[in-house]
């Protein structure tokens, strides 16, 4: 009896042998070196590891496929511009094992689904295209030509192009992403869901409305020069580790750091820079001045409390608000202030879960400084009120005039190396008409103006069989999305599922009636084409576009670049009716950049400027106080307080990453920074909440969520008592994505509310 899609999508309910210790009080340092060297020596060829360490994030080198933290504009460290997790990403991508026909002949899809995500990911690099016919149990090899034609046939067999879904992960370079969206639009749909739908979509919506651009306004240099850096709902020590170097420089320059998070993550508390021998000897740098243990989703309440006290001080002294900035460059101030006065300080502080003492420490710093930068990540964006969360922190920056000047501004930190670039070059299910008009003017076809599916809508479309073909350019869709059981059925309902990937992941096992795995080059691999080794480009969190060029020989001669895959699919699908010479792009990527220059704002002289060793900055109105909003000014906004009404036995759960994890990629089984080793089926609970439920440390429990009458369960998790606010708990994803309702998402942005899921915890 073959496994159900739900069985194949589920992470195995088996324990590995958990070890729990006290979390460390210092981050990076020797521990990071040991961990990185351990990973690299276990999975990579030493010569490759050496080459990679000298070229990753270096000028003229290749861009780390991990997060989107920027590289210094000026001098790059000769000791290396990478972090522990960057090296883990390379140990994953440049692993020496490869898998092809033999491997898949030995292992059925059902058998592979028995493995953990860690084991699946460590199977090896995909070395040749594989096909799973309808009803088959094992993948079998297929030629590239046959694979392209199979995709083309399925797409052309659809009654409507809107019956196809084209997903993009943030690893895709600008060139591949631009061609992909161009193909999809010429094919006739805008179904371009992408991973930013699940991460910073709410940031984009809130920042576009308030500041006129959906990106952060600061540069790396601003972080060094800030008087105050607030790190909100973000765990940089694990998810953007080189950010700790910037925070250390900010401290050195006299800056203050405030960390707002339900968990006291060691990464933002203390940092030992392994490139500084003195620090290695003396025990590192204290980073955070004030840690704020806010309750899950207590951010609007906390910021509103700050705003109320600032207003009180302003009314007393008239010395707090930047009135010139407010009067000249903002709109909506009066309505904002009138609404703010409706709220009660004590009630807001209570709702935030923060003590008065901690509040006062934060307030004193905010009151006396105006070069303020606020950094954030998923802890703010994966809630139903995510857009409000971000709009409220912008209100604070506007009152202080902390936008568009040195050392001040917004800093949404992107979690994937080119997720921002993908959106910039057109990976957008709701692209503006001006962009579509440029496509029409350049290529002579009229792209549909009808908005396409976001990730959540795509899952609903596949579940209801309105969408019948799923194409994933990178990523691990089934493990990234919420509501695993529902989403697994959605994929299984498809006629065809296709994944362009570097290595095996669980999405290859949760298939449509037919399935294809199309292996592509890794970021560190040379991309040989007719005109030579190609360079590509990426955009980091601060809007810098820089080049990336592979340095290693491809792990197999049967894998091709993402650009070549897109061109092959487009040619096979649109041949005879396309206005575009798809195969020409494959030979010379500078032609793609010429087109990007014509169609996308800010890429003037693209090919020439890309040769600049540190790349170039894209235009950013908020950075220079030019706010392209509906009012032409920076907008104050009115935001509600979230209303959580928890029943006696309910908790709010947030899904998080371990330290050995990058998005859905499981590098290892340890979470060293939280003292959790060799296990992923764990739940971190407040010890009073454990007592209230009669639960013991290391007891095995089952988790249950009920949302709009639908019950979801996840069994076999081990309780770990942890310093987390009352009624809050934390688990890892993808293990608990099954509990996250598909229809619980951020208003306006449709980002899954993975950071605030109401659950109950009962003994197994
Ligand atoms: S900070 Fe991010 S981009 Fe930099 S090396 Fe680490 S994972 Fe890669």
The CATH number linked to 280 is 3.40.228.10
Q: If you average pLDDT over residues 18-25, what whole number do you get?
A: 97
Residue 434 has pLDDT above 90, yes or no: yes
Share of the chain above pLDDT 70, in %: 100
Q: If you average pLDDT over residues 415-442, what whole number do you get?
A: 98
Residue 70 has pLDDT above 90, yes or no: yes
Tens of pLDDT, residue by residue over 210-238, are: 999 999 999 999 999 999 999 999 999 99
CATH of the domain at 684: 2.40.40.20
Give how far Cα 325 sits from Cα of 321, 330, 440, 638, Å: 9, 7, 40, 19
Tell me if 416 CB under 6 Å of ligand 1.
no
What does the pLDDT read at residue 281?
93
The answer to whether the beta carbons of residues 69 and 418 sit under 8 Å apart is: no
What does the pLDDT read at residue 75?
83
712 and 649 part of one domain: yes
Nearest atom, ligand 1, residue 243 CA:
1
User: Minimal CA–CA distance to 179: which of 502, 589, 524?
Assistant: 589
Nearest atom, ligand 1, residue 417 CA:
3
Torsion on CA atoms 517, 523, 529, 531, rounded to nearest 10: 160
| C-alpha to C-alpha distance for 619 and 542, rounded to whole angstroms | 11
Tell me if 244 CB under 6 Å of ligand 1.
no
Cα 66 to ligand 1 centroid, rounded to whole Å: 5
Nearest atom, ligand 1, residue 241 CA:
1
Q: Dihedral sign for Cα 391, 393, 399, 400, please.
A: negative
405 and 548 part of one domain: no
Does some domain include residue 730? yes
Tens of pLDDT, residue by residue over 651-687, are: 999 999 999 999 999 999 999 999 999 999 999 999 9
Band of residue 705 on the pLDDT scale cut at 50, 70, 90 = very high
Does some domain include residue 417? no
Give how far Cα 224 sits from Cα of 74, 84, 298, 400, 406, Å: 13, 22, 28, 19, 10
Cα 668 to ligand 1 centroid, rounded to whole Å: 17
User: Minimal CA–CA distance to 614: which of 54, 53, 48, 81?
Assistant: 81
489 and 403 part of one domain: no
Strands (E) in 312-455, as ranges, are 330-331, 372-376, 409-412
Q: Dihedral sign for Cα 326, 403, 603, 187, please.
A: negative
Tens of pLDDT, residue by residue over 358-413, are: 999 999 999 999 999 999 999 999 999 999 999 999 999 999 999 999 999 999 99
Tell me if 270 CB under 6 Å of ligand 1.
no
Q: If you average pLDDT over residues 97-106, what whole number do you get?
A: 97
DSSP 602-643: T-TTHHHHTTSTT-EEPP-GGGGT---STTSSEEP---PPP-
For ligand 1, atom 2, which residue shows the shortest CA distance? Answer: 67
CATH of the domain at 585: 3.40.50
Tell me if 88 CB under 6 Å of ligand 1.
no
Nearest atom, ligand 1, residue 67 CA:
2
Does some domain include residue 113? yes
226 and 320 part of one domain: yes
143 and 291 part of one domain: no
Tell me if 64 CB under 6 Å of ligand 1.
yes
Does some domain include residue 188? no
Q: How far apart are the first and last CA of the chain?
A: 28
267 and 389 part of one domain: yes
Strand partners, 221: none
Testing ligand 1's pocket by substitution, the residue of 83, 538, 541 carrying the most ligand atoms inside 8 A of its CB is 83
What does the pLDDT read at residue 574?
97
| C-alpha to C-alpha distance for 683 and 729, rounded to whole angstroms | 7
| C-alpha to C-alpha distance for 242 and 402, rounded to whole angstroms | 24
Q: Count the neighbouring beta carbons within 10 Å of the beta carbon of residue 318.
A: 9
Domain end point (choices 412, 446, 468): 412
User: Minimal CA–CA distance to 760: which of 715, 724, 723?
Assistant: 715
Nearest atom, ligand 1, residue 87 CA:
5
Residue at token pair 């950075």: 623
Nearest atom, ligand 1, residue 81 CA:
5
Tens of pLDDT, residue by residue over 151-210, are: 999 999 999 999 999 999 999 999 999 999 999 999 999 999 999 999 999 999 999 999
Q: Would you state the structure tokens that stand for residue 326, as one six-digit string?
A: 């407010």
pTM, two decimal places? 0.97
Q: How many distinct structural domains can be found in the chain?
A: 3
Cα 52 to ligand 1 centroid, rounded to whole Å: 13
Residue 453 has pLDDT above 90, yes or no: yes
Cα 274 to ligand 1 centroid, rounded to whole Å: 15
Tens of pLDDT, residue by residue over 268-323, are: 999 999 999 999 999 999 999 999 999 999 999 999 999 999 999 999 999 999 99
Band of residue 1 on the pLDDT scale cut at 50, 70, 90 = confident
Residue 694 has pLDDT above 90, yes or no: yes
Testing ligand 1's pocket by substitution, the residue of 240, 244, 271 carrying the most ligand atoms inside 8 A of its CB is 240
658 and 609 part of one domain: no
Nearest atom, ligand 1, residue 65 CA:
8
Tens of pLDDT, residue by residue over 454-505, are: 999 999 999 999 999 999 999 999 999 999 999 999 999 999 999 999 999 9
Tell me if 240 CB under 6 Å of ligand 1.
yes
Band of residue 747 on the pLDDT scale cut at 50, 70, 90 = very high
Give how far Cα 735 sits from Cα of 50, 62, 488, 656, Å: 34, 32, 14, 10
What does the pLDDT read at residue 299?
98
Tell me if 52 CB under 6 Å of ligand 1.
no
Share of the chain above pLDDT 90, in %: 98
Give how far Cα 320 sits from Cα of 225, 326, 364, Å: 21, 12, 12
| C-alpha to C-alpha distance for 387 and 562, rounded to whole angstroms | 33
Cα 189 to ligand 1 centroid, rounded to whole Å: 34
SS (H, E, C) 127-169: CCCEEECCCCCCCEECCHHHHHHHHHHHHHHCCCHHHEEEEEC
Round the average pLDDT of the chain to a whole number and report it.
97
For ligand 1, atom 8, which residue shows the shortest CA distance? Answer: 86
Residue 708 has pLDDT above 90, yes or no: yes
| C-alpha to C-alpha distance for 205 and 32, rounded to whole angstroms | 36
585 and 450 part of one domain: yes
309 and 262 part of one domain: yes
Nearest atom, ligand 1, residue 64 CA:
8
Cα 500 to ligand 1 centroid, rounded to whole Å: 23
Tell me if 524 CB under 6 Å of ligand 1.
no
Does some domain include residue 541? yes
Q: If you average pLDDT over residues 231-260, what whole number do you get?
A: 98
Residue 69 has pLDDT above 90, yes or no: yes
Tens of pLDDT, residue by residue over 291-300, are: 999 999 999 9
Band of residue 264 on the pLDDT scale cut at 50, 70, 90 = very high
Tell me if 67 CB under 6 Å of ligand 1.
yes
What does the pLDDT read at residue 74?
86
Name which of 34-43, 502-511, 655-664 the model is least confident about: 34-43
What does the pLDDT read at residue 249?
97
The answer to whether the beta carbons of residues 337 and 637 sit under 8 Å apart is: no
| C-alpha to C-alpha distance for 375 and 378, rounded to whole angstroms | 11
Give the domain range for residue 715: 5-26+645-763
Q: Which residues contact 647 (CB under 8 A, 6 or more apart)?
A: none
Domain end point (choices 615, 633, 665): 615
Does some domain include residue 425? no
Tens of pLDDT, residue by residue over 619-657, are: 999 999 999 999 999 999 999 999 999 999 999 999 999
Does some domain include residue 450? yes
Does some domain include residue 372? yes
238 and 93 part of one domain: no
397 and 269 part of one domain: yes
Band of residue 78 on the pLDDT scale cut at 50, 70, 90 = confident
Cα 61 to ligand 1 centroid, rounded to whole Å: 14
360 and 394 part of one domain: yes
């Amino acid at each position: 009896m073959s496994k159900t899609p739900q069985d194949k999508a589920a992470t195995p309910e088996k324990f590995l042998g958990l070890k729990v210790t006290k979390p460390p009080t210092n981050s990076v340092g020797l521990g990071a070196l040991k961990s990185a060297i351990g990973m690299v020596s276990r999975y990579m060829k030493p010569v490759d590891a050496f080459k990679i360490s000298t070229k990753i994030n270096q000028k003229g080198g290749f861009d780390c496929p991990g997060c989107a933290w920027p590289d210094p504009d000026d001098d790059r460290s000769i000791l290396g511009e990478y972090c522990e997790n960057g090296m883990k990403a390379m140990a994953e991508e440049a692993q020496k094992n490869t898998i092809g026909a033999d491997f898949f002949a030995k292992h059925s899809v059902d058998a592979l689904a028995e493995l953990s995500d860690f084991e699946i990911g460590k199977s090896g690099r995909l070395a040749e295209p594989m096909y799973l016919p309808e009803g088959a149990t094992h993948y079998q090899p297929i030629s590239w030509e046959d694979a392209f034609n199979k995709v083309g046939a399925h797409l052309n067999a659809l009654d409507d192009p809107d019956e196809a879904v084209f997903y993009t992960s943030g690893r895709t370079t600008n060139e591949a992403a631009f061609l992909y969206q161009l193909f999809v639009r010429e094919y006739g749909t805008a179904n371009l869901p992408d991973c930013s739908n699940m991460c910073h979509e709410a940031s984009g919506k809130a920042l576009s409305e308030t500041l006129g651009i959906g990106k952060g306004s600061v540069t790396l240099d601003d972080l060094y020069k800030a008087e105050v850096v607030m790190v909100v709902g973000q765990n940089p020590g694990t998810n953007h580790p080189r950010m700790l170097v910037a925070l250390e420089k900010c401290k050195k320059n006299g800056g203050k750091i405030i960390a707002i998070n339900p968990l006291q993550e060691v990464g933002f508390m203390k940092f030992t820079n392994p490139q500084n021998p003195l620090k290695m000897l003396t025990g590192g740098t204290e980073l955070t001045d004030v840690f704020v243990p806010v309750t899950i989703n207590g951010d609007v309440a906390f910021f509103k409390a700050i705003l109320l006290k600032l207003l009180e001080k302003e009314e007393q002294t008239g010395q707090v608000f930047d009135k010139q900035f407010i009067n000249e460059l903002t709109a909506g101030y009066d309505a904002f202030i009138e609404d703010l006065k409706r709220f009660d300080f004590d009630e807001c502080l209570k709702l935030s879960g923060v003590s008065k003492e901690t509040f006062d420490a934060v307030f004193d710093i905010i009151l006396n400084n105006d070069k303020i930068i606020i950094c954030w990540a998923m802890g703010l964006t994966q809630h139903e009120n995510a857009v409000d969360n971000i709009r409220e922190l912008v209100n604070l920056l506007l009152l202080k005039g902390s936008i568009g000047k040195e050392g001040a501004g917004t800093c949404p930190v992107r979690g994937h190396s080119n997720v921002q670039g993908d959106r910039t070059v057109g990976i957008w299910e709701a692209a503006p008409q001006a962009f579509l008009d440029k496509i029409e003017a350049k290529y002579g076809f009229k792209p549909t103006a009808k908005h396409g599916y976001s990730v959540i809508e795509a899952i609903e479309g596949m579940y209801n069989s309105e969408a019948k073909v799923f194409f994933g350019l990178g990523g691990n869709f089934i493990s990234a999305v919420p509501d695993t059981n529902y989403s697994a059925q959605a994929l299984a309902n498809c006629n065809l599922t296709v994944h362009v990937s570097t290595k095996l992941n669980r999405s290859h096992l949760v298939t449509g009636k037919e399935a294809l795995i199309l292996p592509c080059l890794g970021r560190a691999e040379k991309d040989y084409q007719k005109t030579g080794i190609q360079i590509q480009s990426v955009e980091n969190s601060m809007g810098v576009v820089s080049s990336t060029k592979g340095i290693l020989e491809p792990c197999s001669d049967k894998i091709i670049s993402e650009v070549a895959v897109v061109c092959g699919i487009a040619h096979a699908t649109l041949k005879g009716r396309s206005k575009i010479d798809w195969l020409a792009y494959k030979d010379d990527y500078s032609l793609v950049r010429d087109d990007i220059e014509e169609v996308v704002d800010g890429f003037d002289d693209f090919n020439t400027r890309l040769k600049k060793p540190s790349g170039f900055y894209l235009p950013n109105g908020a950075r220079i106080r030019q706010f392209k909003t509906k009012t032409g000014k920076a907008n104050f906004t009115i935001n509600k307080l979230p209303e959580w009404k928890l029943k006696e036995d309910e908790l709010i759960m947030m899904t998080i990453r371990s330290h050995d994890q990058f998005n859905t990629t499981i590098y290892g089984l340890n979470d060293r920074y939280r003292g959790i080793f060799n296990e992923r089926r764990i739940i971190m609970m407040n010890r009073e909440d454990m007592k209230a439920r009669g639960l013991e440390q290391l007891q095995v429990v089952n988790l249950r969520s009920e949302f709009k009458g639908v019950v979801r369960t996840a069994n076999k998790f081990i309780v770990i008592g942890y310093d987390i606010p009352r009624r809050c708990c934390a688990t890892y994803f993808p293990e608990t994505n099954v509990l996250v309702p598909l229809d619980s998402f951020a208003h306006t942005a449709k980002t899954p509310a993975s950071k605030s899921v109401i659950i109950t915890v009962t003994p197994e």
